[in-house]
Amino acid sequence: MTNGIDERYHVRSVSRAALILEHLAAATDGLTVTEVARIAGGSKSSTFSTLQTLESHGLVSSEGEGTQRRYFLGLTLARYGELAVSRVSIRDIALPELRALTDETQMSSRVAKPEQGHAVIVGRVDAPGSVRFDLHMGQRELPHCSGLGKAVTAELDDDAVRRLLDSVGMPARTRKTVTDPERLLAQLADVRRRGYAVDDEEDADGVYCVGAVARNHRGECAGAISVTGLKLDVTEERIHELGELVRECAHRISARLGWS
């Protein structure tokens, strides 16, 4: 979990608590105190104290008394999550446009907001009857192998991209994932020229994705949108067509955000 934030001014207990939340998020069936202590590191007793503290604030909840008590993410997080998402203005503006885009393309669409270099999903429209791609609210898209990620990353200059890739790495998600920084930089130059980014089975096998950025009144990147579908459904000539559709949709969103 290394990102651009200075390590000097971290408060350890809080960082540990955040890690515990992250592990609880990964565990669908909850965790016991001992499991949390083992997975997140730290002693049983301090883990216990941290969990108690988090629970008293509703950030975690527990079920079962006595032995075998299991901890889960608490429902206060639902409230915070709603508030966090509702604050993102691009979401409300993008969703109607995305519904139209999904109607036209029959592909699932997403809107993301840049946060610390990553694209974080803040809204989605699923194509009816389509395969469910596991793209969830709040999910962080990788900068080097997703339509949303590439679109956002293309906003940075080459040096900033190199630094970003350095800190987050370029894990190979499929055989087609670009793992060479220089080759990705060349792709990003294309993205800037064309106005849209392509993920051709680079994040998941058989999945195709096109993304483009939307801009606010100051011309800054306010977020990105994308459509995702099966590679099977995307013919050769459809690729360019899709790119144009997504770019134009992003343009409409930009216009509504005050960009000319």
Partner DNA sequence: TGCGAATGTTCTGTAATGCCGAACTCTATT
Partner DNA sequence: AATAGAGTTCGGCATTACAGAACATTCGCA
Catalog residues that contact DNA under the rule CB under 7 A.
Answer: 6, 8-13, 16, 32-34, 41-50, 65-69
- The encoded tokens of residue 82 equal 């709603």
Nearer to a copy of itself, 18 or 186 (CB): 18
4: buried, middle or exposed (CB in 10 Å: 19+, 13-18, 0-12)? exposed
Which one of a copy of itself, DNA, none interacts with residue 249, CB within 5 to 8 A by kind? none
CA distance 2 to 134: 24
Nearer to DNA, 66 or 129 (CB): 66
Check if the beta carbon of residue 224 is closer than 8 Å to that of residue 152: yes
CA distance 212 to 191: 9
Q: Residue numbers of the site for a copy of itself (CB under 8 A)? A: 1, 3, 5-6, 9-15, 17-19, 21-22, 25, 28, 46, 48-50, 52-59, 61, 72-85, 87-88, 113, 115-116, 120, 122, 136-140
Shortest approach of DNA to residue 20 CB, angstroms? Answer: 10
| Three-class SS state of 46 | helix
Which one of DNA, a copy of itself, none interacts with residue 67, CB within 5 to 8 A by kind? DNA
CA distance 151 to 119: 9
Which one of DNA, a copy of itself, none interacts with residue 18, CB within 5 to 8 A by kind? a copy of itself
Shortest approach of a copy of itself to residue 140 CB, angstroms? Answer: 8
Nearer to DNA, 69 or 163 (CB): 69
Q: In what order do the strands lie in the sheet with 140-141?
A: 140-141, 118-125, 108-115, 221-230, 207-215, 197-200
CA distance 171 to 202: 10
Nearer to DNA, 17 or 154 (CB): 17
